[in-house]
Protein backbone atom coordinates (compact mmCIF):
# COMPACT_ATOMS: atom_id res chain seq x y z
CA UNK A 1 0.00 0.00 0.00
CA UNK A 2 2.84 2.37 0.95
CA UNK A 3 4.53 1.54 -2.35
CA UNK A 4 1.25 2.22 -4.19
CA UNK A 5 1.00 5.63 -2.55
CA UNK A 6 4.63 6.44 -3.28
CA UNK A 7 4.24 5.34 -6.88
CA UNK A 8 1.04 7.31 -7.37
CA UNK A 9 2.46 10.49 -5.82
CA UNK A 10 5.56 10.23 -8.03
CA UNK A 11 3.37 9.71 -11.08
CA UNK A 12 1.15 12.64 -10.04
CA UNK A 13 4.25 14.85 -9.76
CA UNK A 14 5.48 13.67 -13.16
CA UNK A 15 2.06 14.35 -14.75
CA UNK A 16 2.11 17.80 -13.21
CA UNK A 17 5.56 18.56 -14.61
CA UNK A 18 4.66 17.29 -18.09
CA UNK A 19 1.46 19.38 -18.25
CA UNK A 20 1.40 22.95 -19.61
CA UNK A 21 2.02 25.45 -16.83
CA UNK A 22 -0.80 27.59 -15.48
CA UNK A 23 -0.57 31.36 -16.04
CA UNK A 24 1.46 33.23 -13.35
CA UNK A 25 -1.74 34.81 -11.96
CA UNK A 26 -3.00 31.35 -11.01
CA UNK A 27 0.31 30.62 -9.25
CA UNK A 28 -0.19 33.78 -7.16
CA UNK A 29 -3.78 32.68 -6.50
CA UNK A 30 -2.52 29.33 -5.16
CA UNK A 31 -0.04 31.14 -2.89
CA UNK A 32 -2.73 33.44 -1.48
CA UNK A 33 -5.11 30.48 -1.04
CA UNK A 34 -2.42 28.69 1.01
CA UNK A 35 -1.88 31.64 3.32
CA UNK A 36 -5.49 32.73 3.76
CA UNK A 37 -7.70 29.62 3.68
CA UNK A 38 -7.82 26.42 5.74
CA UNK A 39 -8.08 23.81 2.97
CA UNK A 40 -5.97 25.04 0.02
CA UNK A 41 -5.97 21.48 -1.37
CA UNK A 42 -9.52 22.11 -2.58
CA UNK A 43 -7.97 23.84 -5.60
CA UNK A 44 -8.19 21.41 -8.52
CA UNK A 45 -4.55 22.10 -9.50
CA UNK A 46 -2.49 22.23 -12.64
CA UNK A 47 -3.41 18.91 -14.34
CA UNK A 48 -7.15 19.16 -13.75
CA UNK A 49 -7.18 22.92 -14.41
CA UNK A 50 -5.41 22.48 -17.75
CA UNK A 51 -7.76 19.56 -18.52
CA UNK A 52 -10.79 21.84 -17.93
CA UNK A 53 -9.28 24.46 -20.23
CA UNK A 54 -8.61 21.84 -22.91
CA UNK A 55 -12.14 20.39 -22.66
CA UNK A 56 -13.73 23.83 -23.02
CA UNK A 57 -11.47 24.48 -26.02
CA UNK A 58 -12.22 21.13 -27.67
CA UNK A 59 -15.99 21.37 -27.15
CA UNK A 60 -16.02 25.05 -28.22
CA UNK A 61 -18.24 25.72 -25.22
CA UNK A 62 -19.62 29.24 -24.76
CA UNK A 63 -22.07 28.94 -21.87
CA UNK A 64 -20.52 27.30 -18.81
CA UNK A 65 -21.60 26.71 -15.22
CA UNK A 66 -19.48 25.82 -12.20
CA UNK A 67 -20.62 24.58 -8.80
CA UNK A 68 -17.93 25.47 -6.23
CA UNK A 69 -15.80 28.54 -7.03
CA UNK A 70 -13.56 28.46 -3.93
CA UNK A 71 -10.79 31.01 -4.70
CA UNK A 72 -11.36 30.93 -8.45
CA UNK A 73 -8.65 28.61 -9.83
CA UNK A 74 -10.90 26.31 -11.88
CA UNK A 75 -13.16 29.21 -12.92
CA UNK A 76 -10.19 31.10 -14.37
CA UNK A 77 -8.93 27.91 -16.07
CA UNK A 78 -12.32 27.49 -17.78
CA UNK A 79 -12.61 31.19 -18.64
CA UNK A 80 -9.18 31.15 -20.34
CA UNK A 81 -10.60 28.90 -23.06
CA UNK A 82 -13.85 30.82 -23.54
CA UNK A 83 -14.23 33.14 -26.54
CA UNK A 84 -14.66 36.88 -25.73
CA UNK A 85 -18.47 36.53 -25.81
CA UNK A 86 -18.41 33.33 -23.69
CA UNK A 87 -19.66 33.24 -20.13
CA UNK A 88 -19.10 31.19 -16.99
CA UNK A 89 -21.58 31.37 -14.12
CA UNK A 90 -19.86 30.12 -10.96
CA UNK A 91 -21.60 29.36 -7.64
CA UNK A 92 -20.04 29.93 -4.21
CA UNK A 93 -21.73 29.91 -0.82
CA UNK A 94 -18.94 31.42 1.33
CA UNK A 95 -18.38 35.18 1.05
CA UNK A 96 -14.74 34.80 2.21
CA UNK A 97 -13.96 32.48 -0.72
CA UNK A 98 -15.95 34.59 -3.16
CA UNK A 99 -14.05 37.72 -2.15
CA UNK A 100 -10.66 36.17 -2.98
CA UNK A 101 -12.01 34.72 -6.24
CA UNK A 102 -13.49 38.05 -7.34
CA UNK A 103 -10.16 39.78 -6.63
CA UNK A 104 -8.42 37.41 -9.08
CA UNK A 105 -11.25 37.65 -11.63
CA UNK A 106 -10.72 41.43 -11.59
CA UNK A 107 -6.97 40.96 -12.17
CA UNK A 108 -7.38 38.49 -15.05
CA UNK A 109 -7.85 39.39 -18.73
CA UNK A 110 -10.52 36.62 -18.72
CA UNK A 111 -12.32 37.72 -15.56
CA UNK A 112 -14.99 39.70 -17.42
CA UNK A 113 -16.35 36.38 -18.75
CA UNK A 114 -17.08 35.16 -15.21
CA UNK A 115 -20.19 35.93 -13.16
CA UNK A 116 -19.89 34.88 -9.53
CA UNK A 117 -23.20 34.04 -7.85
CA UNK A 118 -23.00 34.11 -4.08
CA UNK A 119 -25.45 31.73 -2.40
CA UNK A 120 -26.62 28.14 -2.52
CA UNK A 121 -25.77 26.51 -5.84
CA UNK A 122 -29.24 24.93 -6.09
CA UNK A 123 -30.85 28.42 -6.06
CA UNK A 124 -28.55 29.64 -8.84
CA UNK A 125 -28.98 26.47 -10.93
CA UNK A 126 -32.78 26.66 -10.59
CA UNK A 127 -32.71 30.23 -11.94
CA UNK A 128 -30.71 29.39 -15.11
CA UNK A 129 -32.69 29.55 -18.34
CA UNK A 130 -30.00 29.56 -21.04
CA UNK A 131 -28.91 26.21 -22.51
CA UNK A 132 -25.52 25.12 -21.12
CA UNK A 133 -22.52 23.74 -23.05
CA UNK A 134 -20.23 22.80 -20.17
CA UNK A 135 -20.53 22.26 -16.40
CA UNK A 136 -17.94 21.62 -13.70
CA UNK A 137 -19.36 20.26 -10.44
CA UNK A 138 -16.91 20.50 -7.53
CA UNK A 139 -18.73 21.23 -4.25
CA UNK A 140 -21.10 19.85 -1.70
CA UNK A 141 -20.89 16.11 -2.47
CA UNK A 142 -24.14 15.38 -0.59
CA UNK A 143 -26.02 17.24 -3.34
CA UNK A 144 -24.22 15.74 -6.36
CA UNK A 145 -27.37 13.84 -7.34
CA UNK A 146 -29.44 17.05 -7.20
CA UNK A 147 -26.88 18.90 -9.33
CA UNK A 148 -27.01 16.13 -11.95
CA UNK A 149 -30.82 16.16 -12.02
CA UNK A 150 -30.95 19.97 -12.24
CA UNK A 151 -28.19 20.40 -14.81
CA UNK A 152 -28.68 17.55 -17.30
CA UNK A 153 -31.99 18.91 -18.73
CA UNK A 154 -30.37 22.34 -19.16
CA UNK A 155 -27.28 20.97 -20.95
CA UNK A 156 -27.37 21.00 -24.76
CA UNK A 157 -27.09 17.79 -26.73
CA UNK A 158 -23.33 17.23 -27.13
CA UNK A 159 -22.64 19.26 -23.96
CA UNK A 160 -20.40 18.05 -21.17
CA UNK A 161 -20.77 17.70 -17.39
CA UNK A 162 -17.54 17.18 -15.43
CA UNK A 163 -17.78 15.85 -11.86
CA UNK A 164 -14.78 16.16 -9.59
CA UNK A 165 -14.06 13.69 -6.74
CA UNK A 166 -15.79 10.86 -8.58
CA UNK A 167 -13.51 8.33 -6.83
CA UNK A 168 -13.87 9.99 -3.43
CA UNK A 169 -10.42 9.02 -2.12
CA UNK A 170 -11.00 5.48 -3.42
CA UNK A 171 -13.96 5.06 -1.09
CA UNK A 172 -16.29 4.30 -4.02
CA UNK A 173 -14.85 0.74 -3.96
CA UNK A 174 -16.27 0.27 -0.49
CA UNK A 175 -18.46 3.26 0.42
CA UNK A 176 -18.78 3.97 4.15
CA UNK A 177 -19.49 7.70 4.52
CA UNK A 178 -22.64 9.42 3.27
CA UNK A 179 -20.59 11.24 0.64
CA UNK A 180 -18.90 8.06 -0.57
CA UNK A 181 -22.28 6.30 -0.86
CA UNK A 182 -23.85 9.21 -2.76
CA UNK A 183 -20.96 9.49 -5.20
CA UNK A 184 -20.89 5.73 -5.85
CA UNK A 185 -24.70 5.70 -6.32
CA UNK A 186 -24.48 8.61 -8.79
CA UNK A 187 -21.58 7.03 -10.72
CA UNK A 188 -23.65 3.84 -11.00
CA UNK A 189 -26.80 5.73 -12.05
CA UNK A 190 -24.89 7.68 -14.72
CA UNK A 191 -23.35 4.42 -15.97
CA UNK A 192 -26.90 3.15 -16.60
CA UNK A 193 -28.37 6.42 -17.96
CA UNK A 194 -29.09 6.03 -21.69
CA UNK A 195 -29.18 9.83 -22.17
CA UNK A 196 -25.41 10.11 -21.66
CA UNK A 197 -22.05 8.50 -22.33
CA UNK A 198 -19.29 8.77 -19.76
CA UNK A 199 -15.61 8.25 -18.99
CA UNK A 200 -14.25 8.11 -15.44
CA UNK A 201 -10.65 9.33 -15.44
CA UNK A 202 -8.57 8.05 -12.53
CA UNK A 203 -6.63 11.29 -12.16
CA UNK A 204 -6.41 13.09 -8.82
CA UNK A 205 -9.58 12.18 -6.91
CA UNK A 206 -11.38 10.96 -10.04
CA UNK A 207 -12.84 13.12 -12.81
CA UNK A 208 -16.07 11.87 -14.39
CA UNK A 209 -16.77 13.19 -17.88
CA UNK A 210 -20.44 12.90 -18.85
CA UNK A 211 -21.47 13.82 -22.41
CA UNK A 212 -25.15 14.35 -23.13
CA UNK A 213 -26.17 12.48 -26.31
Ligand X SMILES: C[S@@+](CC[C@H](N)C(=O)[O-])C[C@H]1O[C@@H](n2cnc3c(N)ncnc32)[C@H](O)[C@@H]1O
Residue ranges that bind ligand X, judged by CB under 6 A: 42-44, 68, 70, 73-74, 91-94, 97, 120-121, 138-140
Instruction: Assess contact for 69 and 116: CB atoms under 8 A.
Output: yes
Output 125 or 152, the one with its CB closest to ligand X: 125
Question: Which residues, 6 or more positions from 203, have their beta carbon under 8 angstroms from its beta carbon?
Answer: 15, 47, 48, 51
**Smallest distance, ligand X to C-beta of residue 161, A:** 14
Nearest residue relative to ligand X (C-beta): 139
For residue 209, what is the enclosing H or E element? strand 207-212
Output 45 or 86, the one with its CB closest to ligand X: 45
Output 70 or 105, the one with its CB closest to ligand X: 70
**Smallest distance, ligand X to C-beta of residue 70, A:** 3
**Smallest distance, ligand X to C-beta of residue 69, A:** 6
**Smallest distance, ligand X to C-beta of residue 22, A:** 11
The secondary structure of 122-157, three-state, reads HHHHHHCCCCEEEEEECCCHHHHHHHHHHHHHHEEE
Output 102 or 194, the one with its CB closest to ligand X: 102
Output 145 or 193, the one with its CB closest to ligand X: 145
Instruction: Assess contact for 69 and 103: CB atoms under 8 A.
Output: no
Q: Which of 198, 213, 126 is nearest to 162 (CA)?
A: 198
**Smallest distance, ligand X to C-beta of residue 86, A:** 18
Amino acid sequence: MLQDNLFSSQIANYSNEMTSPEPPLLTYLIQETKTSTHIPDMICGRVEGRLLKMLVNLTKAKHCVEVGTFTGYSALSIAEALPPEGKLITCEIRPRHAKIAQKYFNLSPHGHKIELKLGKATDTLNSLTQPIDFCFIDADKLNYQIYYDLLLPKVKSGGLLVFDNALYHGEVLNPVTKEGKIIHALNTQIQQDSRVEQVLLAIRDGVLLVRKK
